[in-house]
Every structure is written in structure tokens, then in C-alpha cells.
Chain A
């Protein structure tokens, strides 16, 4: 649990952030999203005291951030930045071992942990003895994530970690991160300026604008009920309706008992994929089957439109 209580920051008399009040639940993946200069990175860096608020407090698990020494605090919080920020003069192995070494773990325990992390982030063990510059951008970023996980912190902060990667690598790392989050149950705070990345990853999204929170909520809430024009534009205007289709499956809109021919789609298909499939095949209805391949019924374009209209709250 991370809590901001009226936290604010000014530079040279100019208010750049807040006062900001926000609560990030334990085990959530909270994405701070907004245009550059909106204060999302500043917000993130207040959690590990890289930036100290002028007013208000930030606390993790009920303890104010400022009550501990900054080094001790940071060693208990994972931190990943764009392009990894790996130490170029250390081998990958030593990079991953950074925080355990700062915490004076025994070398045998560190070695075991490094090998374990290589498996967790799906990095070939042979890469551990290389230097960062011998790795691809995607591999470097995986090492950056492994390094943040090394001492098993409860919280991980990620500052535009995938910003410098090509779209394919980026998408695969997003999938990996979502899996890691599910498997480890860590609280992750993730900063990005890319709304699609935010929608793909977040269990909670905080849209920021000019140092303040424009809206926070689940991805579906943000898409369905944007609070103002800024949020509406940022989530893609009318495209938001299309994006929203991603968050629901066809399960509740199947018409049972009707039978048509053609390749059936599984009932776990999202509304968006079903829609795309109709367009590709030029049909207004598709047959649907359950997980075991049993015929269920059909999905018709009218039900799709009704469902999307309902979820948009219009």
C-alpha cells in the first residue's frame, strides 16, 4: 500500500506537482500516464525519496518515506529506468547482484538468487557473464527488471522502462511484465506516456495533467467514463469505444441455440477480436464454441453494438 497525502513539489516557486492524494493498493499494477511534464515521474520518485515533497507526506505500508534513511528505504524498493541504467563496467551477474551486495548478503546466496532471477526474467544463463553493451536493448531491460527484483522488494518502481524499445520487443516485455506481476503479486508503479501501454498493463490507471490527477480508476472506467475532455482525448476520443471492446469477452452476448456454419470462435474471445473477425470475413454473425470445442451458439453484430454501447455508458 502506497499513500500520497497532499504531497506537493515546487521548483523555484513554480508548483510542478500536487497537492496530490492517491492510494495505490497492495499488489496492484498502477500506471501513471500523461503527457511529458505532467508530473508522473516526479510522483514516482517521491516513493523512493529521490524527490522529497515540500508539503504533505508519502508513505509505504503506513510508514512515512522520510522517517527512514533514503538509502535503507531505496534498498527495499525495486527501481527500473529507461534503457536499464545498467552499470557498463560490471558484468550482468554483478549488475543483478547490486542490491543484495549493498545489503551484504553472503556470496553463495547472491549467486543462487542471480541464477533464479535469470530464469524468472527468461534470460539465458550464458548472458550473465557478459557486459551490458554486449546485450540487445530488450535483454538489457530484462536485466534491469531482474536487478530490481533481486532483493525481493515489495514495491517496484518503473520509469518509462520500455520507452526506448522497438514495438515488437516492447509488446513482448509488456506481456512478460503482466505475467511477473500475476506470479509475484508485487505492487508495481509504472510510468509511461503511452495510453495503450497503460491500458495493456494497468490494474489501475492514474491519468495526470499539469501536476494533478485528471482521473484515476480501472482501465475500463477510464475508457467508459472519461471525466473531462483532456482524459477523453488522451484515451483516444472516439477510439476509446473500440479500445474498451478489449476489456470484455463475448461470453455474455452469445445467442444460444442458433446454429450457423463456419469456423467457430472460442467464448473467451474479446469483443474487439470478434468484431475484427467479422470485418475480416465480411459476415454479420459468427459461430461460437466453448473451451472444449462444444458448439454454443452465435454472436451477432447487433449484440456486439449493444454491448459496446452499454459499456460506454451512453
Chain B
């Protein structure tokens, strides 16, 4: 059946879209902006808010958002591959920038000096449009050449950072929560990144002997993978909790350990847990990478007189490198998320805001912890994707 015959019926028209993902995103954006609250206004931090839809904010904001939704819709039908990616990115980026500015100015407009405790929070329509905008951008960037993609992504990032830094969004409750936490935010962010970086590095160090054993000593494969799989099944909170007892004992009985800060709570159990969770992805991907080195390649390396060390360094390692890096990518992204939970055992990090927010029933405070965590994970992932693309471009 041809595309033309699909167009004869209304549902057939939708099926004729070239890019179904963009089409679904456009429909989701449309539904959210019609049905959901864009912002909500509450008398104070704890009370429930009064929802305001996009059209309550005026004709101009509604018009702008709808224009970008229409552009997104049109992009899904565009026949030319490159033009489709371009339109998709333009609509996604336009949506992101416009909803940020609209939310900021709407918050400004609804501030009331008579009511200083009034909170203007972001609603479901805003979050849906934000998600649609980001997904449209990612979808578009993946279809572009790497140079163009990186340039556009950086440009968009700079614009968003400028908007966030300009103070235009400061009236939103999320911004106010952020400003209230500003003194500790930088510290917790650095702690979070530090926890992830330290545990990723330690995980790599610990993974090396396991990888070598798994690949070059077949008998040790089964026990290594069984143990690592088992570790992975322990819930993170349980693992953090389980580490408290032995580490407290170490701290009580070994003065040196206590002196360098090892204890039942704090960074030590957090790092140990993150390292343990990081081992399986690292060992599994390295194992797959090394075992995928063709036997013929290894045999000819031997046959031409390479020493085992030369074979490992010049043949095995470079051929397995993309797999090693993708393992590290999984570990980094996973640790950024898991490190949030580490705040529970006093390791600090962005999770501090999440748990504080849950405790106070202040959802905006939860977001102060959660949004940067998501952003960190996305950025780490993008960085590794770029490294992998470079590695794979030279076979």
C-alpha cells in the first residue's frame, strides 16, 4: 500500500508522517498545553496551588508555543532528511527557550507584594513541553553530523544558561528554593561529582584484575560473573545500610582508619557501594570487547612474532577500547543517579536536597536536587557518546 492511499482517511494522514517520533511529540505537546497546568499559584510553600493553563497567560505566549508545536508537526512530514532534522531542532529549541521565558514572565506577573509567601510553581504542561523540547532536540542532533550537532547543542546550552543566569526566572518557586540553598548547592554539587569520579576511578582499578582473570583464565569466569550479578541485585539502600556495620567496626578498632575519615556513615560506604555497583558493567563490557577480538587477528599477531604484552597493548586493547568506554559510560551515568541515595547515609551530594525536600514536603526543593542530577547524567552521557563516536570513526 502506498503512502498516498494512507492519506485518504484522517488516521491514514497521520500514518503518512515521515517521522512518527516527532509526530507523537507534537501531539503530546498539544495535549499537555491544552489540558495541563502551565504554572500554579499557591499562597505558601506547603499549600496546594491554583492551576493556570497556558491560555490563561495570554494570547502571545499561547500563540508562540502553538507556533512551535505546529513547526514540530510540520517537521514530521518533511521529506528531505536534512531539512527534517533542521526543523525538528528549531522547533525543539524554540519550544525550550519560549517556555522558559513565558514561565519567568508569568511568575513576575503573578507576584504579589501583599503576599510575600506566595509560591509560583511550574505545572505539568511546562514539564511535558520541556521534555518534548529536549527529546526533539536530541532526536534532531542524532541525525546531524557530529560537528554541527555539537555546535548546535553548545549554542542551545549557552542560551539556556544565559536565561537562567539573567534573573528572568527568579520569581519562580524553584528559583527561590535554589537561591535559599545557594550557599550549600555548590558544595553538594562538587561532593556529588567527586563521589562519582572517585568511585568510577576506583571501580576501573578494581575491575582490571577481574577483567584479566575473566578473559584469560576461563575457570574464574563463572564465579566472577555470579558474584558481580549477585551484587547488582542488592537494592542500593540495603547495600548502603549493610556497609554501616562493618565500617563502624573498622573505625572503632583501627585508629588510623578513623583518622583518615573512614566510618560507618559518610563518603566511605557510599564510595564502596558505588564501586561495587560499577564492577559488573565494567567487567561485562570489557569481557565482551576482548572476547570479540577475532581469533585470526590474534593468531596472526602471534605468528608474526608479537610478544603477549605487545599483542595485548597493540591488538587487544585498541580493539576492545570502544567496549571499555561504553562500559565506563554506563557506570558513570548509573553512579550519578545512585549517588543521590548516598545522601541518606550522610555522604552528601545532590541527594541532600531531595531527601530534605521529601522531609519538608517541598517538591520544589526535591527538584533542586533532582534536576541537576538529571542534567549531570545527560551531560556525562553526551560526553561519552562523543568520545565513542570519535573512537568508532577510526575502526
Contact = CB atoms under 8 A, between A and B. Distances in A.
B304 A99 contact: yes
Interface stretch (A31-39, A67-75, A236-244): A67-75
B296 A87 contact: no
Contact of A82 (B296, B303, B304, B305): B296
B297 A85 contact: yes
B297 A102 contact: no
B219 interface: no
Nearest to B319: A89
A87 B310 CA distance: 13
Contacts of A75: 304-305
A102 B304 contact: yes
Given A81-B296, A83-B296, A98 B304 contact: yes
Given A87-B315, A102-B310, A79 B297 contact: no
Given A82-B296, A83-B296, A102 B305 contact: yes
Contacts of A99: 304-305
Interface in A37-80: 48, 50, 70-76, 79
Contacts of B315: 87
B109 to A, nearest CB: 60
Interface size class of B (residues with CB under 8 A): 10 to 19
Chain A, interface SS category: mixed
Interface in B285-314: 294, 296-297, 299-307, 310, 314
B299 to A, nearest CB: 6
23 contacts: A71-B305, A73-B305, A74-B302, A79-B300, A82-B296, A83-B296, A85-B300, A85-B303, A86-B300, A87-B301, A88-B294, A88-B319, A89-B319, A89-B395, A98-B304, A98-B306, A102-B304, A102-B306, A102-B310, A131-B395, A144-B300, A147-B304, A157-B303
Interface of B: 294, 296-297, 299-307, 310, 314-315, 318-319, 394-395
Given A74-B303, A102-B310, A157-B303, 20 more contacts: A48-B303, A50-B299, A50-B302, A50-B303, A71-B307, A73-B305, A74-B305, A81-B303, A83-B296, A84-B296, A85-B294, A85-B297, A85-B300, A86-B300, A87-B297, A87-B315, A89-B318, A102-B306, A133-B395, A144-B300
Interface of A: 48, 50, 70-76, 79, 81-89, 98-99, 102, 131, 133, 144, 147, 157
